[in-house]
Amino acid sequence: MSEKNKPSFYKKVSKQFPEVMSAAAALGTTLRTAGPLDEKTSHLVQLAAAAAMQSEGSVSSHTHRALEVGATPEEIHHTVLLLITTIGFPQAMAAMSWAQEVMEKKSKK
């Protein structure tokens, strides 16, 4: 995710614990490149996991990241809709609303 899209709390923690945050980012990069999935698909998988965990921050982060590497709003919507039968309608709709907020903010820029 580009520096400007990172939440202020993430930036604060990164300044306070730069080595930890750098190591976490490096691990994420290593994991995304360790197999055959492309970067966009990797972020869509992580978006689905974030939605299942009901982590609003992670849903927002992976929505941003997926968009940055070429995912379309339709792909993001489909990723979340696929979760309805797994995590339930209310949880999927909550995640959809978080992802939609990110996409609406991005489209206004």
> What's the mean pLDDT in 37-42?
96
51 within 8 A of 92, measured Cβ to Cβ: yes
pLDDT at 3: 62
pTM of the model: 0.86
Q: How far is CA 94 from the centre of its chain?
A: 14
Q: Which range has the worst mean pLDDT, 9-13, 30-34, 61-65, 67-71?
A: 9-13
CATH numbers and ranges of domains, the chain: 3-108 (1.20.1290.10)
- Average pLDDT of 27-41? 94
Cβ–Cβ under 8 Å, residues 42 and 32:
yes
Report the largest interatomic distance among the alpha carbons of the chain, rounded to a whole angstrom: 40
Q: State the Cα–Cα distance between residues 109 and 105, nearest whole angstrom.
A: 7
For residue 34, the 8-state DSSP code is S
Name, in order, each residue with C-beta under 8 angstroms of 49's C-beta and a sequence gap of 6 or more: 58
